[in-house]
Amino acid sequence: MARQGLTRADIINSAIEMIESEGLHSFSLRELASRLHIKAASLYNHIRSSDELHTEIGYYAISELSKAQLTAIAGKQRAEAVKALADAYYRFGKERPEIYKVILSLPMVKNDAIHKAGFDIVEPIMIVLGGYKLTEEQKKHLQRVFRSIMHGFISQEEAGCFKQFPIDVEDSYRMAVRGFILLLENSEKEAKA
């Protein structure tokens, strides 16, 4: 029964909805198929494998995150912009944890993934760093540092690794961002010297 006008995009969208509502760990092709009123095997007319679908969802997630960041930093400069960038990142991780997890598990090993998603990941940060007087090399390093801080913080909080002490998590978060801003300013001085 070649019936529904079921497109590849429909399948990806449906998978995203499912992951967001039911959680990434309990996602399966058979349930996805069932939700689309289809048998699991039929999915293979639209996708090559589970991994490919997974990767596609990862691209979606990254572009969503990137968009949120670009919106957040619009019209802002330097420390203001850094904070806005970090906030957008933090909120995304908190509000859409299951989708965020998909980004993490996206294996960037293939050159494919790096080229397709790499730019979106890096772009907003590089724009913000553009407001600081830094060498290109410094910017590339600092972008890695920023992403490490943000990703590390979000995933540890998500995993429950901050529950040893009953102190405010957002306070810790603000301290982390302040640390990065300090590093930025310090790097600027070094660039001059």
Partner DNA sequence: TTGACAAACTAACAGTGTTAGCATTATTGT
Partner DNA sequence: ACAATAATGCTAACACTGTTAGTTTGTCAA
Which CB sits closer to DNA, 44 or 119? 44
Q: CB under 5 to 8 A by kind: which of DNA, its own copies, none does 119 bind?
A: its own copies
What is the nearest approach in angstroms of its own copies to the Cβ of residue 38?
Answer: 28
Residue (33 or 113) nearer to its own copies, CB: 113
CA-nearest of 1, 12, 3 to 47 is 12
- Binding of its own copies at residue 59 (CB under 8 A)? no
Residues forming contacts to DNA in the complex (CB under 7 A) are 1-4, 6-7, 27-31, 33, 37-42, 44-46, 49-51
Q: Which does 149 bind (CB under 5 to 8 A by kind): its own copies, DNA, none?
A: its own copies
Residue number with CB closer to DNA (29 or 79): 29
Residues numbered 95-114 forming contacts with its own copies, rule: CB under 8 A: 104, 106-109, 113-114
What's the number of CA atoms in the CB half-sphere (13 Å) around residue 100?
A: 21
Half-sphere exposure (Cβ direction) of 65: Cα atoms closer than 13 Å = 34
Residues contacting its own copies: total by CB under 8 A: 46
Nearest to 35 by CA among 47, 25, 21: 21
**Distance from C-alpha of 3 to C-alpha of 1, rounded to nearest angstrom:** 5
Q: Select from 134, 53, 128 the least CA-distant residue to 88.
A: 128
From 33-41, 73-81, 87-95, 175-183, span contacting its own copies (CB under 8 A)? 175-183
Binding partner of residue 175 among DNA, its own copies, none, CB cut-off 5 to 8 Å per kind: its own copies
Smallest gap from residue 60 Cβ to its own copies (A)? 17
CA separation for the pair 182, 192 (Å, rounded): 16
Nearest to 81 by CA among 119, 135, 125: 125
Q: Which residues in the 132-151 window bind its own copies by CB under 8 A?
A: 137, 140-142, 144-145, 147-151
SS3 content of the chain, % helix, strand, coil (to 5): 75, 0, 25
79 burial via Cβ count (<10 Å: 0-12, 13-18, 19+): middle
Partner whose footprint covers residue 140, from its own copies, DNA, none (CB < 5 to 8 Å by kind): its own copies
